[in-house]
Structure 1
Amino acid sequence: MRLPSSLTPLRHHAFAWLWFGNAISAIGTWIQSTASAWVMTMLAPDPLMVSLILAAAQLPILVLALPAGALADRLDRKRLLVWSNLAMLAASGLLAALQLLGLVDAWLLLLLTALLACFTALNSPAWSSSVPLLVPRAELPQALVLNSVGFNLARAVGPALGGVIVAGGGAAVAFGANALSFAIVAVIIGGLLVFPASTRPADLPPEPLVQAMRLGLRYAAYEPSLRAALFRSAAFFGCASAVWALLPLYVHNVLGLAATSFGLLLASMGAGAVVGGLVMPRLRERYTPDTLVMLAGVVNAAALIPIAVMPGLTVAAIAMFVFGMGWIAAAASLQSTVQLACAPWVQARGLAIYQAVYNGGMGFGAIGWGWLGMHAGVKGALLAAGLGGIVIAVLARSQQLPSEVPDPAAAPQHSLPEFAVGAGLMEVLRTDAHPVLVSVAYVVGESDIAAFRRAMQGLRQSRHRDGATDWTLVRDIGRPEIWVEAFRLPDWSELRRAALRFNALDDAMMQAALAFHRGDSAPEMRIFLAVYGTGSGHGHHWHPGMFRG
């Protein structure tokens, strides 16, 4: 049977299991979130304390996402996923036991929520970066939509189920249900999923953790598509966080209703997201990602206005349905751009940075909206979020998302020159203790200088994306036609990794620069090794090696 276009990625069995595990985990998460928020309204019913539940669930991920992404790019992904789910099982099980014993107060609830978020941070980059390994690139955007649909199906079921469980069995049972979801996911990952083996050469060690984190940040800074997606994510999620921060208190204080009504509103939001996910293929045909994210931001913000000015359960349910549709349109489009812009070797780190932006926007936004709710009231804060969100959604479009993202895994048409190592240096290189400097000398005509310098800016981005820590372009004062590009890498192993990362986009940047070279032979390329302790006992001296083409 042929699947509809919106469900096509599910024909890949490994992705189907990943999707199922994502949905099970999300149901547990929403049960936990509903129970935690409602318990806090009982323990400390003021806007700031209730909003701190969201902050505690989000801000640890902001801090730990990048180290977790670096680990996911370095370690066995399957093993990392299994152990992180077992750790989340332990944290949520502990919360359930303490709640059952009546030992949970407001601050302990925040502490254990933050602990669970720490393990979630370890899990999330490895989980999200697994999707491109299981579906073809052409199906990746819809696969991400389906993941969001699964998450929002859980949002439609989980909060309502959470409200019923809290009302009928108490919060301890709800926390226990979340622990059970992690056990199920660990079994699915450990027994049913198989990921492709690493392609890193056996003699090339993994990147040191801190170096891997820095490279992830540099990649985000010098990849335009990823940079724009991160900026737009911060703007969108910072405004949208008002709902998550204030909705529990809106239901409890403004509407005067119980936990089941809070769960109903979250379920309505989830239902809207499911409907939005099913129509996403048509929306992508009609709108570019840039326009779609802007419209989604406007829709989300506008949905908050009637909640503030016309309080009522029916109005709120309709508004949350609309909010859910806008949420999935923006979130899926933003994450799709991030996934498509990240090369395979930095996939988890790129997604970790996106998740850090997401959780930072949600966490700090929640604190800000909670503070405003204390001074302007819950309805006033929601109205401000609605009106301000519309303006921000339009202004954020100054950072445009691309309609098409070049494939960072595409192979280059041209090969990099092979290099030989001078006698006596191989043992020094194996220590990986010395920075490496690469220089490339071009001969450029006077009339080509302006165009050449523009081309070199593109090549500069390429060098930084692939691992260069410093880059400069200098001109020979004695022979002004000679321009030298020089860039530094942390060590010899990083130079080898940079060569393996060279892709079609890097090749295009390099060929654009080479087009302006007017020498009788190819540009002279050389590698220099920093050798410490060879002179006065401090600093370093550059020892030349040969770079042969």
Structure 2
Amino acid sequence: MSRPRDPRRRSIPTATPTLRRFGPLRDRHSRPYLMTAGLSMMGDNIEHVITYWVLWEVFASPWLVGFQVISHWLPFLLFSVLFGGLAEKYDCRRIIQIAQGLFAVVSLSWGLLFLTGTLEMWSACVLLVLHGCAGALWGPAEQLMLHDFAEPAELPSAVRLNATFKSLGVLAGPVVGSLLLLLLGPTWGILANIVFYLPMTLLMLRTPFTGHSRSGFVRRERVSILDTPRVLRTVGSDKVLVGMIALAGLIAVCVGASLQVAMPNFAQVLGAGDEGGLGYGALLFANGIGGVVGGFLLEATGILKVDVRGAVIAAVMFGLTSLIVATTTSYPIALIALVIGGVAYLAATAIGQALVQLRAPEDQRGRVVGVYSMIGSGMRTGNGITIGWLGALLGVSGAVAVGGLARVVGALLIGVLIALQTRRGAPA
């Protein structure tokens, strides 16, 4: 199962380093990695902006709108563990290049269909699914690369900054996408979007790390889609791992991880639906900027430790802010709550991701990261069903309020259960 240690590992220091604020940004290898990850995530969101607009203009199909959400997250649910196994077995640089290439091919295909006027419903559905598969394939390999770039003590910082730069990409994507749509039109705008996938693709040609350089472990067994039950049984004895995976699922299922879909409702309730859409745009921006500012703020202050308590506190704060947004009639209070909620969401997910990676068995790290992605991202497939069902019963604001309350109660319950297991002498 293990191979001889790679000679390049000699260049990786083994002494315990002094913990540095923004340490990964000081490193000449990880700094471009974080920045190119942000650019790729921006390209991902630019594609959403342009293609979703065109699809509505051409088909005006509510069914297709629902399929857009499902096709994006369902590959995470079905294939994350499989793709994690691939990341354990093969060079993560090549997997990342394949994923970025698939993103680019999808953008190219959209552009050709727009250019020739041959876009049909079936071809749109195929491209939406392929785009979702590219994101799911990228995830585990991208996370494993962080283990090579960062010393173990700085891994939480690397995970947090990686999430921050990707949040910056999510925030900038709609702005850049709208500009491309306005200046170049949908056809040339989506073709120009290919450029944003190139930096990470090219970076993988020159980085010396493979995702396995520090550990020296490479999986030899056959990769199977049936690995998921086996991995779940393996990690079941570690209650912290199980708790963080459950917390990620709680955040994904309860209305909140996809809070943007409820923003038009909040804008109307808060009296900000007019004025050229500025009030609505500010609500969206407040939620997005919270994740970016929060990432840098948490890195600079270290106010939340990378432990179960930190993850639970962040998840509770995220639930409370969602509850406030759903129940307040004050526009300024809603804006403040959305910013704080963005900070809390990033903190909860980054701490959970870091704990999972630190505690995962070395020989199953890719698949354990895949399980976390399967639950934390894949379960968002049902987010639309949750908000649709509860929204029909209680209204959109009521559905978000119930989701926020459920996150608060669920996060506290997970924290209590982990604490009880720790007190009884279980691994923690």
Please report the TM-score for the alignment, with normalisation by the length of structure 1: 0.64
Q: Say which structure is richer in strand.
A: 1
The Cα offsets for residues 458-511 of structure 1, whole Å up to 9 and x where unpaired, read as 8xx9xxxxxxxxxxxxxxxxxxxxxxxxxxxxxxxxxxxxxxxxxxx9xxxxxx
Give the one of 139, 143, 146 matched to 2:161.
146
* Aligned 1:215-254 pairs, distance under 5 A: 215-239=230-254, 240-247=256-263
- C-alpha separation between the residues in 2 aligned to 1:170 and 1:248? 25
* Equivalent residues in 2 for 1:119-198, closer than 5 Å: 119-195=134-210, 197=213
Distance 1:311 1:29, change over 3 A: farther
Judge conservation of contact 1:91–1:115 (CA < 8 Å) in 2: yes
The correspondence for 1:6, drawn from 2, 8, 21, is 21
Structure 2 vs 1, CA of residues 30 and 376 (structure 1 numbering), >3 Å: closer, same or farther?
A: same
Contact 2:180/2:189 (CA < 8 Å) preserved in 1?
yes
Q: Which amino acid aligns with 1:343?
A: P
- 1:396 is matched with 414
Distance in 1, matches of 2:27 and 2:133, equals: 31
Structure 2 distance, partners of 1:401, 1:188, is: 43
Moved more, 180-189 or 160-169: 160-169
Provide, for residues 1-23 of structure 1, a one-character-per-residue CA deviation record: whole Å limited to 9, x for no partner: xx994311222222112112211
> Equivalent residue for 2:40?
25
**Counterpart amino acid of residue 294 in structure 1:** V
**Within the alignment, does 1:207 sit opposite 2:218 as a pair?**
no
Deviations, residues 395-416 of structure 1 (Å, cap 9, x unaligned): 33344389x9xxxxxxxxxxxx
**Structure 2 residue 320 is matched with structure 1 residue 320:** no
User: Does structure 2 conserve the Cα–Cα contact (< 8 Å) formed by 1:225 and 1:401?
Assistant: no
Aligned-partner Cα distance in 2 for 1:161–1:318: 25
Which one of 89, 113, 124 corresponds to residue 128 of structure 2? 113
Shift of 1:86: 1.0
- The worse-fitting range, judged by mean Cα deviation, of 7-16 and 298-307 is 298-307
Asked if structure 1 preserves the Cα contact closer than 8 Å seen for 2:140 and 2:366, the reply is yes
Q: Which has the higher contact order (CA 8 A, sep 6+)?
A: 2
CA–CA separation in structure 1 for the residues paired with 2:267 and 2:119:
23
Q: Does 1:361 align with 2:376?
A: no
The within-5 A match list for 1:472-483 is: none
Most deviating of 329-338 and 107-116 = 107-116
1:484 corresponds in structure 2 to: none
Where in structure 1 are there 5+ consecutive unaligned residues? 405-453, 462-504, 506-549
Once the two structures are superposed, residues 404-443 of structure 1 have per-residue CA deviations (whole angstroms, 9 ceiling, x without a partner) of 9xxxxxxxxxxxxxxxxxxxxxxxxxxxxxxxxxxxxxxx
What amino acid is aligned across from residue 315 of structure 2 in structure 1?
A: G
In the alignment, the residues of structure 2 paired with residue 306 and residue 40 of structure 1 have an alpha-carbon distance, to the nearest angstrom, of: 34
Structure 1 residue matching 2:46: 3-state secondary structure: helix
1:273 aligns with 2:287: no
Classify 1:27/1:249 alpha carbon distance in 2 versus 1 (closer, same or farther; 3 Å): farther
Aligned residue-pair number:
402
Could you tell me whether the CA contact under 8 Å between 1:34 and 1:263 is conserved in 2?
A: no
The answer to whether the 8 A contact 1:92-1:175 is kept is yes
- Taking the TM superposition and a 5 Å limit, the aligned residue runs for 1:452-491 are none
Quote the Cα distance in structure 1 between the aligned partners of 2:265 and 2:195: 28
Q: How does 1:43-122 map to 2 (within 5 A)?
A: 43-44=59-60, 50-104=65-119, 109-122=124-137
Deviation, structure 1 residue 351: 0.8
Contact 1:242 1:382 in 2 (8 A): no
Matching residue of 1:330: 348
SS of the equivalent of 1:55 reads helix
Query: What amino acid is aligned across from residue 257 of structure 2 in structure 1?
Result: S
Deviation at 1:339, TM superposition (A): 0.9
Between the aligned partners of 1:376 and 1:39, the Cα distance in structure 2 is 32
Cα distance change of structure 1 residues 66 and 200 upon mapping to structure 2, 3 Å threshold: closer
Distance 1:50 1:126, change over 3 A: same
Do the aligned residues in 2 keep the contact of 1:158 with 1:267 (CA within 8 Å)? no
Amino acid in the other structure paired with 1:62: L
Contact 2:273 2:279 in 1 (8 A): no
Residues 285 and 384 of structure 1, relative CA distance in 2, 3 Å threshold = closer
Quote the Cα distance in structure 2 between the aligned partners of 1:10 and 1:399: 36
C-alpha contact (below 8 Å) 2:46/2:174 kept by paired residues: yes
Q: CA deviation at 1:127?
A: 1.0
From the superposition, tell whether residues 258 and 287 of structure 1 become closer, same or farther in structure 2 (CA, over 3 Å): same
Whole-angstrom CA distance in 1 between matches of 2:20 and 2:288 = 21
SS of structure 2 residue aligned to 1:6 = coil
Give the aligned partner of residue 390 of structure 2. 372
For the 8 Å contact 1:255–1:311, the answer to whether it is kept is no
State how far apart, in whole Å, the 1-side matches of 2:189 and 2:329 are. 29
Contact kept? 1:304, 1:319, Cα under 8 Å = yes
Equivalent pair of 1:235/1:396 in contact (CA under 8 Å): no
> How much has 1:171 moved relative to structure 2?
4.1
- CA distance in 1 between counterparts of 2:340 and 2:114 reads 35
CA distance in 1, matches of 2:189, 2:338: 23
Superposed CA deviations along residues 43-76 of structure 1, whole A, max 9, x for unmatched, are 5475x76454222211111101111111111112
Distance 2:369 2:400 in 1: 30
User: Are the aligned partners of 1:68 and 1:125 in contact in 2 as well (CA < 8 Å)?
Assistant: yes
Deviation at 1:209, TM superposition (A): 1.4
Residue 220 of structure 1 deviates from its aligned partner by 2.6
Q: Give the superposed CA RMSD.
A: 3.7
Q: 1:215 to 1:383 in 2, by over 3 A?
A: closer
Q: What does 1:409-424 correspond to in 2, within 5 Å?
A: none
Aligned to 2:363: 345
Question: Amino acid of the residue matched to residue 359 of structure 1?
Answer: S
Amino acid paired to 1:137 = P
Moved more, 57-66 or 248-257: 248-257
Larger Rg: 1
Paired with 2:392 and 2:123, the residues of 1 have a C-alpha distance of 23
Q: 1:288 to 1:339 in 2, by over 3 A?
A: closer
Of 286, 307, 322, the residue aligned with 1:304 is 322
Q: Is the 8 A contact 2:306 2:354 kept in 1?
A: no
AA matched with 1:179: I
* The 10-residue stretch of structure 1 (354-363 or 93-102) with the greater mean CA deviation from structure 2: 93-102
TM-score, normalised relative to structure 2 = 0.80
Cα distance 1:129–1:326, how it changes in 2: closer, same or farther (>3 A)? Answer: same
